[in-house]
Structure formats: C-alpha cells, structure tokens
Amino acid sequence: MTVPRQLLAGYEQFKIGVILKKAREEAGLTQEELAAKLNTKKSAISRIENHAEDIKLS
C-alpha cells in the first residue's frame, strides 16, 4: 500500500520532534542552549528532534 505524499507531509507536521525543532529554531536557540534551559543534555534534545518515536516524557 502506498501512502500519498500529501498525507505523509501532514503527518510530519504533528511529530513532536519536528514541532520542537521548529520552535527551537524560531526562538533562535541551539540544541545546547535549549538543553540548558530545560536542565537536560544536548543529546536528549537531539534524540527528541531526530528520533521522537523513541522518547519518554516524564
């Protein structure tokens, strides 16, 4: 089964990692700066932005 490109594009807009990256970039923050504000590591921000299907929010 082939998924239409338009449907995939809509799905991408709702991924938490995509949303986080867009908001971070619009705020003019690096991953490191955002991590410091959230009291976490840069690697955690990167993991969320790039592999959001594998995150745990607590």
Give the dihedral of Cα atoms 20, 55, 40, 31; nearest 10 deg.
Answer: -40
CA distances from 55 to 3, 29, 31, 52 (A): 25, 21, 16, 6
**Tens digits of residue pLDDT in 1-10:** 676 777 666 6
pLDDT for position 55: 64
pLDDT for position 1: 62
**Spatial separation of the C-alpha atoms in residues 35 and 2, rounded to whole Å:** 38
* Number of domains comprising the chain: 1
**Spatial separation of the C-alpha atoms in residues 45 and 20, rounded to whole Å:** 9
pLDDT for position 53: 66
- The CATH number of the domain holding residue 20 is 1.10.260.40
The domain in which residue 13 lies consists of 5-54
**Tens digits of residue pLDDT in 8-40:** 666 665 688 889 999 999 999 999 999 999 999
